Amino acid sequence: MKTFLSLGKILALASLFSLTGCGTYNRLVTLEQNVNKKWADVQSVYQRRADLIPNLVNTVAGAANFEKSTLTEVTNARASVGQVKLDPSKAPTDAAELEKFQKAQGQLSTALSRLLVVSENYPQLKATEAFQNLQAQLEGTENRISVERNNFNSAVQEYNTALERFPTNMLNKMFGFKPRPFFTAAAGAEKAPEVKFDFNKPATTPPPATTPATTP
């Protein structure tokens, strides 16, 4: 009788452990898929910004005497972003990879902001419908980037916290689940880059191109 009771306890514990393990595994799968979904959303808005830049560069390049170095900076920064290859459907597990991705995107944000600020000096450019449309789309995209990054960090926090809780922390390595790194805020990056213009503000007219003096 005692033997049967002992076997019954063992089977009961094994069943409980099995049910707990199944529940834990299913919850971690759900949380991990949510992190991957938020990562895909981040990639999508970054890609949207990258797709808008060629049209912006072409539009700005048509302005007389526009700073060529500024255009080159934006073009090079966009190319650097394209060289950082990360799986768009699966959130990275390597913090160094995410940091590299974030650094490239930050350089593009800086170059893009500079281009838009320089554009303030070109009233004819600012008055064009094409430029105004691009400005509005970029402003909305920058805001979406900020929102999606925050959503991603929230999903990562929930997932990483679940990995550390008992009894999940005893099982997650067995299941092969790994923590995910966060996006980190750069100094002074509490707000999305400002790309909004005041079209009613008088702008400084760029100096005319100099021409060689003629000898009488």
Q: What is the pTM of this model?
A: 0.76
- Specify the pLDDT at position 10: 55
Q: What is the pLDDT of residues 137-191, one digit of tens each?
A: 999 999 999 999 999 999 999 999 999 888 777 777 777 889 999 999 764 444 4
Of 116-130, 169-183, 194-208, the range with the highest mean pLDDT is: 116-130
Query: When comparing pLDDT for 207 and 69, which is higher?
Result: 69
* Domains of the chain, first to last: 2-175 (1.20.1440.20)
Give the HSE-up count for residue 25: Cα atoms under 13 Å, Cβ half-sphere.
Answer: 10
- Is 60 exceeded by the pLDDT of residue 127? yes
